Amino acid sequence: MNSLETSLYFFGIIMVELSLLFIGISTIIGVALVYISDDKLQRWLSHKGVFGNILGALMGGLTPFCACSTIPMTVGLLKARVPFGPVMSFVVASPILNPIVLSMMVALLGIKAGIIYAMVSFMAAVLFGLILEKLGFAKQVKNVIVTGGQQNDAILKTFKDKLRHAIASALKDYRAVFLYLVIGVAIGAVIKGFIPQNLVINVAGPQNPAAVPVAAVIGIPLYIRATTAIPIGLALIQKGMSVGAVIALIIGGAGMAIPEMSLLAGIFRPRLVGALVGVIFLTAVTAGLIFNFS
């Protein structure tokens, strides 16, 4: 009975907290984005050298895209002749580094975890964008055409209109991730209430050096959004799993899930898709090890 009460309490508190964070942060970002046109974004990213990669990573980090919107945006940037390196920095940063993920990370795991996660993810996006461009992976882009695009926000003349549009968009995004959020919090609640702590410590505790790379490998083929993984990770950490292993699982799952790899295969050749998988794996392992030794 105590285990059931613990699980239900965990589910209720975490579900409310994450829901409010998701809707609130999404609304704030939505209002900010209506003031920035696609043309302006493309001009910013057209800077050559490391500055362009920094802007690409920032853009990916500040826009709460999922794979379904990241891919068309990526194609649009490439067709606008934005340099390949900044586009790759955007692709790497977009799924693993955004305000929603960071706000959840800080709220549930603490500000230190959020800062380290943001720094490692951002630096990885910048660095690997530069490396992929230097190694000539720009030749691995297919010639594709994507129709459609983002809604034209020119009709949103007043701040009230923009705010209303941002709230509606945030609620729409929340409905899209609601099921994944419920699943993640429910799994976390079961772990919190019913999984023996000794089991988690023995399998994935800080004393197991293989826990971080194994967690990253497990995360990559899973279709697990960060919003799903974070509450699961919180419960696992409370049961004794190392923070590094949890971070590796989150980055691996959120950064390169099977559906996203399928979408990327539509615009990139297999060599570049494989390179991106390797990038996410290295980022996940590096971040996990830094967490464990920090």
Structure tokens at 122: 């951002």
pLDDT (tens digit per residue) in 54-68 = 988 988 887 655 555
Give the C-alpha distances (Å, rounded to integers) separating 131 from 27, 42, 85.
34, 21, 8
Other Cβ atoms closer than 10 A to 42: 15
Q: Say whether pLDDT at 118 is over 80.
A: yes
Amino acid at 255: G
The whole-number pLDDT of residue 148 equals 38
Beta-carbon contacts of 175 under 8 Å, excluding residues fewer than 6 positions away, are none
Question: What are the helix (H) ranges across the chain?
Answer: 2-33, 38-45, 50-62, 67-79, 84-96, 99-109, 111-134, 159-194, 197-204, 211-219, 226-238, 243-255, 258-265, 270-293
Looking at per-residue pLDDT, the higher value among 135 and 156 belongs to 135
Of 25, 22, 60, the C-alpha closest to 41 is 60
Give the C-alpha distances (Å, rounded to integers) separating 31 from 44, 71, 168, 169, 211.
19, 22, 11, 10, 40
Structure tokens at 160: 């009230």
Looking at per-residue pLDDT, the higher value among 101 and 121 belongs to 121
Are the C-beta atoms of 51 and 89 separated by less than 8 Å?
no
Q: What is the CA radius of gyration of the chain?
A: 19
Measured in whole angstroms, the distance separating CA 191 from the mean position of its chain's CA atoms is 23
pLDDT band at residue 117 under the 50/70/90 scheme? confident
What whole-number distance in Å separates Cα of residue 242 and Cα of residue 207?
Answer: 8
The whole-number pLDDT of residue 196 equals 67
Q: Say whether pLDDT at 20 is over 60.
A: yes
Are the C-beta atoms of 251 and 92 separated by less than 8 Å?
no
Q: Tokens 């034209």 correspond to what residue?
A: 152
Q: What is the mean pLDDT of residues 69-82?
A: 72
Beta-carbon contacts of 18 under 8 Å, excluding residues fewer than 6 positions away, are 104, 107, 108, 181, 185, 227, 230, 231
**What share of the chain has pLDDT > 90, as a percent?**
8
Beta-carbon contacts of 170 under 8 Å, excluding residues fewer than 6 positions away, are 22, 23, 24, 26, 27, 30
Q: Say whether pLDDT at 11 is over 90.
A: no
What whole-number distance in Å separates Cα of residue 113 and Cα of residue 288?
Answer: 11
Structure tokens at 168: 């509606």
pLDDT (tens digit per residue) in 156-212 = 678 888 888 888 888 887 886 687 778 767 876 887 777 766 666 666 666 777 888
**What share of the chain has pLDDT > 70, as a percent?**
76
Task: Map out the domains of the chain as residue ranges.
Answer: 2-293
Across the chain, what does the average pLDDT equal? Answer: 77
Beta-carbon contacts of 294 under 8 Å, excluding residues fewer than 6 positions away, are 112, 116
Are the C-beta atoms of 140 and 274 separated by less than 8 Å?
no
